């Protein structure tokens, strides 16, 4: 499990050090460097998966397109290299240094001697193996059909290929639908179960019902592809006809990959999620955070970026309810030092009852500002 991430001379990050916990939440106004934190991890994985890590950091690939080298150095840094340091709880630390080339149009940052690139070593880290998922802010919503990729889903056990879009989540769910979820503590047990039904499809559907009541998932093969449809239970034990994903609430399909990624995860897996709250009702966001808290309590690591106070509050409620301890939760609020134009990360202190001590100015205070305007107080 990752315990610490240091980023030097990368976009807004002149020198940023983050303590990474079981659940780490990155928040703050737009353009403050949150996505760059996730991108630093994605670029390392991308370069490894493309067999380029020994040569350098590949800025262009399936997972991420970071542009050209001339756009990436921190404008306030005097350094000529990018440095990413990772510390782990039960594995050796990893340090990577890449030089910024003279040609600002280059899309590869050359590797410095001493970077660990041995595949046999790195394949034991979740960041570089199949115990990893990346769900980006622009993941797939409802589609007419969903593609199949046997190599990606069966061999690499991934739900995303292109920039975290989760385009193969439906194939993944169909492929492993009858496989028991690895972390049994995440299962929702129905009172009618003779024995606990731990199949992935059942557990994904049960958690989805917590967000959209009475929904049922129906995946059909359509030539080489899959069609995703839903049904809904009605009173008197009747069920609606199939409803295509295109004609079902957008948020239902948008949250589906998150449920699949978490419920299929092994202990020590790493999951990166951008904006899990997108298109989800506040109650649904609270349910999602309950699932994440249970996953984190059982050894799954989740790093997410969010602009939702419901996501933040959900993590704090998890602490208050004893699902996780404060030691398993990191919340960072990002803003900018405008003179140097660099990111500043503020770690928030969380009490045992889930309260944030001394929150910084600008940390989800808009509702208070609006209420003062509306009430006149």
Residues 340-354 have pLDDT tens digits of 899 999 999 999 999
- Segments making up each domain of the chain, as ranges: 1-131+266-377, 140-264
Pairing relationship of beta strands 243-244 and 225-234 according to DSSP bridges: antiparallel
Q: What is the pLDDT of residue 73?
A: 96
Predicted confidence (pLDDT) at residue 366 exceeds the cutoff of 80: no
Of 276, 278, 270, 290, give the one whose Cα is nearest residue 89.
270
In this structure, of 138-142, 193-197, 368-372, the range with the lowest mean pLDDT score is: 368-372
Q: What is the pLDDT of residue 141?
A: 87
Burial class (CB in 10 A: 0-12, 13-18, 19+), 275: buried
CATH of domain 1-131+266-377: 3.40.50.300
Pairing relationship of beta strands 270-274 and 301-305 according to DSSP bridges: parallel
Answer for the pair 177, 200: CB distance below 8 angstroms, yes or no. yes
pLDDT classification of 234: cutoffs 50, 70, 90: confident
140 versus 325: which is more confidently predicted?
Answer: 325
Predicted confidence (pLDDT) at residue 201 exceeds the cutoff of 80: yes
Sign, CA torsion 237/216/227/223: negative
49 versus 190: which is more confidently predicted?
Answer: 49
pLDDT cut 70: percent of the chain above it: 100
Answer for the pair 122, 153: CB distance below 8 angstroms, yes or no. no
Predicted confidence (pLDDT) at residue 358 exceeds the cutoff of 90: no
Predicted confidence (pLDDT) at residue 374 exceeds the cutoff of 90: no
Mean pLDDT of the region 36-52: 97
Predicted confidence (pLDDT) at residue 86 exceeds the cutoff of 90: yes
Predicted confidence (pLDDT) at residue 199 exceeds the cutoff of 80: yes
Predicted confidence (pLDDT) at residue 2 exceeds the cutoff of 90: yes
Mean pLDDT of the region 39-58: 97
Mean pLDDT of the region 322-332: 97
Where helices occur in the chain by DSSP H, the ranges are: 34-49, 119-122, 150, 169-175, 200-211, 250-263, 282-297, 309-320, 366-375
Residues 116-167 have pLDDT tens digits of 999 999 999 999 999 999 999 989 889 999 999 999 999 999 999 999 999 9
374 versus 15: which is more confidently predicted?
Answer: 15
Average model confidence (pLDDT) for the chain?
Answer: 95
Q: What is the pLDDT of residue 364?
A: 77
3-state helix, strand, coil in the chain (%, to 5): 30, 25, 40
Q: What is the pLDDT of residue 226?
A: 97
Predicted confidence (pLDDT) at residue 74 exceeds the cutoff of 80: yes
Alpha carbon distance 262, 208 (integer Å): 12
């Amino acid at each position: 499990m990752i315990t610490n991430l240091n980023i030097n001379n990368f976009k807004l990050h002149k020198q940023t050090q983050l303590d990474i916990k079981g659940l780490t939440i990155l928040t703050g106004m737009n353009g403050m460097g949150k996505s760059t934190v996730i991108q630093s991890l994605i670029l390392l994985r991308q370069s490894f998966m493309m067999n380029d890590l020994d040569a350098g950091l590949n800025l262009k690939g399936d997972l991420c397109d970071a542009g050209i080298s001339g756009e990436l150095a921190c404008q306030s840094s005097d350094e000529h290299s990018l440095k990413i340091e990772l510390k782990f709880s039960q594995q050796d630390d990893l340090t990577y240094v890449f030089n910024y080339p003279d040609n600002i149009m280059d899309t590869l940052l050359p590797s410095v001697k001493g970077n660990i690139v041995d595949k046999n070593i790195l394949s034991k880290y979740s960041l570089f193996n199949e115990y990893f998922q990346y769900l980006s802010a622009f993941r797939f919503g409802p589609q007419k059909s969903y593609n199949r990729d046997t190599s990606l889903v069966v061999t690499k056990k991934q739900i995303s290929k292109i920039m975290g879009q989760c385009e193969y989540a439906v194939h993944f769910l169909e492929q492993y639908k009858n496989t028991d979820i690895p972390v049994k503590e995440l299962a929702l047990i129905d009172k009618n179960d003779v024995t606990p039904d731990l199949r992935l499809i059942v557990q994904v559907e049960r958690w989805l019902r917590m967000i959209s009541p009475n929904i049922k998932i129906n995946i059909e093969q359509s030539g080489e592809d899959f069609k995703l449809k839903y049904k809904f239970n009605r009173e008197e034990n009747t069920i609606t006809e199939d409803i295509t994903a295109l004609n079902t609430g957008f948020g239902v399909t948008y949250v589906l990959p998150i449920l699949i990624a978490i419920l299929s995860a092994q202990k020590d897996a790493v999951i990166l999620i951008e904006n899990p709250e997108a298109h989800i009702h506040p109650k649904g966001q609270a349910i999602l955070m309950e699932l994440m808290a249970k996953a984190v309590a059982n050894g799954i690591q989740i790093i997410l970026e969010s602009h939702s106070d419901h996501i933040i509050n959900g993590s704090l409620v998890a602490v208050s309810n004893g699902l996780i301890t404060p030691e398993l939760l990191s919340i960072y609020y990002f803003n900018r030092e405008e003179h140097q134009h660099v990111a500043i990360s503020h770690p928030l202190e969380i009490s045992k009852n889930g309260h944030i001590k001394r929150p910084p100015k600008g940390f989800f205070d808009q509702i208070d500002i609006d209420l003062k305007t509306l009430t006149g107080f």
